[in-house]
Structure 1
């Protein structure tokens, strides 16, 4: 078995899998720019089969099934996925940026970043 081109990051998320027109939702277990591991993969998946994956919104990527083990399948992407897309899945659930509360070194709450930027612009 060939060594992976990049480290896979553990992730959790639902994606859409298109296997010869049979579209289903599946779970992403890990992800790198060059491939991923799927859980609860379609029983029709076999090694060497090409499939399409739809990640966030309209990010679509084609891949080839490289291995199958139980309900898991390893996919190698035809083209590398952007690092931004990988990090989207790898980062833990975060609040929207406007909701992040920051504190200084003494635990005092800082004003929202948008207010600080507006003051600098004035």
Structure 2
């Protein structure tokens, strides 16, 4: 049974993770406006710990680790990310070749984007 309230999409972005004043590099594997999954090597990244995730320069979000296993953690954010930040990661992911479609404001998948050959 799916427990998430918001749709997540795959990403593969290097980020910074701060747990207990220890800052480490991690890789964000998926993202929604209220949480993400991160791959990182840290014994201090355990369930219930407060975490700060630096998504991009000066864009930090605080949250709590809600699960941790096999060098991966699930984070729920204390405050939802704004739509522009989420969209940034969706568009960045599409540019890298992810075929996962964008969704409109109602959660419906949008048609795939095709290159405009007239712009070449």
* Common fold: TM-score over 0.5: yes
Q: Which residue of 2 aligns with 1:93?
A: 95
Deviation >4 Å, runs of 4+: none
Change (3 A) 1:9 1:21: same
Return 5+ residue gaps in structure 1 as ranges. Answer: 95-100, 104-108, 112-122
Count of aligned residue pairs for this structure pair: 100
Q: What TM-score results when the alignment is normalised by the length of structure 1?
A: 0.73
Return 5+ residue gaps in structure 2 as ranges. Answer: 97-114
Counterpart-to-counterpart distance in 1, 2:95 and 2:25: 20
Q: Which residue of 2 aligns with 1:43?
A: 43
Matched, 1:62 2:62: yes
Question: Max radius of gyration: which structure?
Answer: 1
Displacement of 1:8: 0.8
CA RMSD of aligned residues (A): 2.1
Question: In the alignment, is the contact (CA less than 8 A) between 1:12 and 1:89 conserved in 2?
Answer: no
